[in-house]
Amino acid sequence: MTEPEPESSPRFGSGLAFAGSAYLLWGLLPGYFVLLAPIGPFELIPWRILFSLVVCVVLITIVRGWRSFGRLLRDRRAMLALLAAAVVIYVNWQVFVVAALGGQVLQASLGYFINPLVTVLFGVVFLRERLRPAQWVAVGISVVAIAVIAVGYGSVPWISLILALSFGTYGFIKKQVGGRVDAIGGLTVETAWLLPVAIVQLIVVGSITGLDFGRHGVAHTILVALSGIATAAPLLLFSAAARRLPLVALGLTQYLAPVLQFITGVVLLHEQIDLERWIGFGLVWLALILLSADALRAAGAARRERRVLA
pLDDT band at residue 84 under the 50/70/90 scheme: very high
What does pTM read for this prediction?
Answer: 0.83
Structure-model confidence comparison of residues 310 and 276, the more confident one: 276
> What is the rounded distance in angstroms from the CA atom of residue 303 to the CA atom of residue 217?
56
Note the helical H segments in the chain: 10-35, 41-62, 66-73, 76-101, 105-127, 133-153, 158-177, 183-208, 218-225, 227-242, 247-253, 256-263, 275-309
Q: Is the peptide bond before 246 cis (omega within 30 degrees of 0)?
A: no
Are 184 and 56 in contact by the 8 Å Cβ rule? The answer is yes
> What is the rounded distance in angstroms from the CA atom of residue 104 to the CA atom of residue 227?
20
pLDDT band at residue 222 under the 50/70/90 scheme: very high
Phi-psi region of 246 (alpha: psi -120 to 50; beta: other; left: phi over 0): beta
Q: At what angle do helices 133-153 and 158-177 cross, to 10 degrees?
A: 140
Mean pLDDT, rounded, for 275-284: 84
Structure-model confidence comparison of residues 247 and 274, the more confident one: 274
Q: For residue 41, what pLDDT is reported?
A: 92
